Amino acid sequence: MKPSTLYSSLPWVITSLTVAVHSAPTGTKSNSNPPLRGSENLLGYSASNTVTDQSTDEIPYVPVPGQTDTADLGVYLDFDDVENPQPVRGSTGGTDPGPRNDYYDRMNSDKLAPPGTDNGQTINAQWPMGLSHNRLGLNESGWARQENEVVMPAATEMAGVDMRLEAGAYRELHWHVASEWSLVLNGSCRIEAVNENGQTFVDDVSAGDVWFFPPGVPHSIQALDSGVEFLLIFDDGSFSEDNTFLATEVFAHQPRSVLAKNFDLPVAAFDDIPEDELYIFPGTPAPQNISEQNVTGSAGVLPQSQSYSYHFSEQPAHEVQGGSVKIVDSLTFPISTNTAAALVTVHPGGMREIHWHPSSDEWTFFISGKARATLFTAPSTATTFDYRPGDVGYFPQSNSHYIENTGDEDLVFLEVLQTDQFTDIALGQWIGSTPKQIVADTLHLPQSALDRLKTEKMYVVAGSNETDAAASA
């Protein structure tokens, strides 16, 4: 049989088989599998239809503290150790017999049982780095995973990368179209760069320190003896680590004769250059004496006032009622002309006060502890998100939000803005600095509340007795 004849006959064969199976006499035992599609007798109403009597109303669960309170009170519901958390808050919601992912429900109680004050759906302001694809370095030298518009479409202004280098490993020589701002999360590394004037830079940075490389400035990163993990933030939400300009790729895609002419070297000098990118790879340990790597030409070294590093770890924290805040921006780190950041610590029960940033979106990385935040978008949309270490939060320019510590240990997170100075507007300071009569007429607050309003920015506030009592009721 010709192939065309065979293929054209297949539909008939399949139809014939189906008819044969359907035509089998009642009670006849057949060894054939049932067909892929059912009988037309299953369509719509039939007197022979059966209804399965399955109760889904009696789903056993024990409400957690705060779950039976009025939904608008909206206290945090801790489902971490709950066997069967349910989407119920106050008189709203109902039980869920499944199917469902209990693991995610326990981690995201404000998605399962949102506060009654949530309304509609804002942008997705949460992305766990743990869900990002991990790119692995050569020979167990490290890894990198990223967040950008691909996984968080509304995060258009900034993107982030969490990168690990084992002891002695390199992030190979490269440069970006975007600027690069970094916070060292743990360990230490040596960073080196050469600017457009030929001035060179080298420094060793440790946990808590930051660096900034302007667009186009080539640089390298090598882990010191303890290895290193660092957070990278780029001023472009579409940025991808897969699209950086790598030294290996630059060399691999130039004619060897051109390379020889460019460097005034014989062509044979380039016989062993890598055919593929290295990206993250093991290397010779950096010498302990940093001066051994301080190569300089006629342009000399980069002036200290234009340094690419800032030893943020040595800056004392500014203590506030509910925690502490440290700010680094162009006022103390001049080269960082378009990136400003605050490292915030919130004690248990406290929260980063309700605020917004008038000049930039906020890109937030959660370092330790548990948190939640409500993003409010005009005119009336609000969504509450829960965060764990390694999560990214994103709050658009002028959209208000708070960040509340929902755990029993300190919450630490990094707020990053795409601007030269770190600024925000605090809801409390605004209302407290507005004539009380206007506030009373607008919000109907009692005089006892008006008398307690503050005119100063708090940054972090401690938990109130009233809120704590309600949460533990």
H or E stretch at 201: strand 200-206
CA distances from 384 to 73, 342, 363 (A): 13, 22, 16
CA dihedral 154, 157, 162, 168 (to 10 degrees): 160
**Residue 162, exposed/middle/buried by CB under 10 A (0-12, 13-18, 19+)?**
buried
| Catalytic positions, written as ranges | 415
Q: Judge whether 347 is annotated as a binding position.
A: no
Q: Tell me if 169 sits within 8 A of 137, measured CB to CB.
A: yes
Contacts of 169 (CB under 8 A, 6+ apart): 137, 141, 142, 222, 223, 227, 280, 281, 282, 283
Q: Judge whether 311 is annotated as a binding position.
A: no
Nearest to 356 by CA among 415, 279, 290: 415
**Residues forming a β-bridge with 426:** 355
Contacts of 390 (CB under 8 A, 6+ apart): 128, 129, 130, 162, 366
Residue type, 446: P
Q: Tell me if 322 sits within 8 A of 346, measured CB to CB.
A: yes
Q: Judge whether 401 is annotated as a binding position.
A: yes
Q: Judge whether 253 is annotated as a binding position.
A: no
Q: What's the N-to-C CA distance of the chain in angstroms?
A: 80
- Binding site as annotated, residues: 174, 176, 180, 219, 355, 357, 362, 401
- Binding site as annotated, residues for Mn(2+): 174, 176, 180, 219, 355, 357, 362, 401
